Structure 1
Amino acid sequence: MNWGKGIVLGMSLFMAFIISMCVYMFNLPVDDYDHQYYEKGLNFNGDYNREQQVVRDNAQPLITQTAAGVAIEFKQPATGVIKLVNPLGKSKDLVCPLNTGADKHLSIPANKFTTGRWGVKIEWSSGKKHYLYQQNIFINGK
């Protein structure tokens, strides 16, 4: 084979690679990127302040896995939202309202979870203070 055929073959292979990558990128599911990327960037300082408030007040909730599910204990009565994020996609995510009352304890049943890694994001208020806490947990199989 002479060098002209080699150049044409190399360019053809490169073009096939680029076209296949374009097709692959356009066929990715919508979940693979964050639609609120810029809004989250604008709200970063507020989230950072709420995370630091957890550290200053030593208000980290205790998250434990029990046979009945996931138990979350707070230092003070809390109201807010718990978001449980599954890396397999947004369709598997859970959002639970949070209102502990006087017992400062919340339980999420095990039947809502699949085995694997979950991200827990808790946004709550206690008294007049607002908090944000994030942690990754691993749910064991039954």
Structure 2
Amino acid sequence: MKINWGTGIVLAFISFIAFILYFVVRMSTDDRANHDLVTEAYYKKELAYQAEIDAQNAAATNSAQLIVEKTKDGLLVRFPENYNYKHITGNVSLYRPSNRHLDFNLPISLSNSHLLIPDNRLVDGRWDITINWKHGKDQFLHKEKIVY
């Protein structure tokens, strides 16, 4: 049987479509790939986004910028010296984009002007750190992406 050009092109298209569909089905049913939303309460968190923007702007205008640095003991978060550390409260959230089981939150309780997150809690790789902190009535927010 001789195959003409038209039949060859149709067979090429059909085989290409079958090839693509094979990978789509394989990736959508693969247990190794996690297809969850980034956070559990994605839409609820999205509604509070303007409050986050306001808190970040407040930190920028009130010279309340935090310094996050990697040390041999862990991750060191330095709070501004012009704020009394005894009146600082809040929460530190560390989010691991590649594995949600490594995510954790820490309450802020300071005995001096810095907070140390121990090295044993942090696995090498990318982390998104979000620090919500409050001094008196002022609400501040610091977001940063770090590679540990």
Residue by residue, what CA displacement relative to the aligned partner does 1:25-65 show, whole Å, maximum 9, x if unpaired? 35341346555443333222111101101101111112122
Equivalent residue runs for 1:59-74 within 5 Å: 59-74=64-79
Looking at structure 1, the residues matched to 41 and 15 of structure 2 have their Cα atoms a distance apart, in angstroms, of 37
How many residue pairs were aligned?
Answer: 138
Equivalent residue runs for 1:83-98 within 5 Å: 83-98=93-108
More strand by share: 1
Map of 2:47 onto structure 1: 42
Is 1:6 the equivalent of 2:14? no
Looking at structure 2, the residues matched to 51 and 138 of structure 1 have their Cα atoms a distance apart, in angstroms, of 22
Q: 2:141 aligns with which of 122, 132, 138?
A: 132
Partners of 1:31 and 1:89 within 8 A in 2: no
Partners of 1:31 and 1:90 within 8 A in 2: no
User: Normalised by the size of structure 1, how large is the TM-score?
Assistant: 0.82
Could you say what the CA RMSD is over the residues aligned between the two structures, in angstroms?
2.1
Q: 2:118 aligns with which of 74, 86, 109?
A: 109
Partners of 1:68 and 1:109 within 8 A in 2: yes
In structure 1, the gaps of 5 or more residues are: none
Looking at structure 1, the residues matched to 9 and 141 of structure 2 have their Cα atoms a distance apart, in angstroms, of 58
In structure 2, the gaps of 5 or more residues are: none
When residues 2 and 33 of structure 1 are mapped into structure 2, their CA distance, relative to the original with a 3 A threshold, is: farther
User: Normalised by the size of structure 2, how large is the TM-score?
Assistant: 0.79
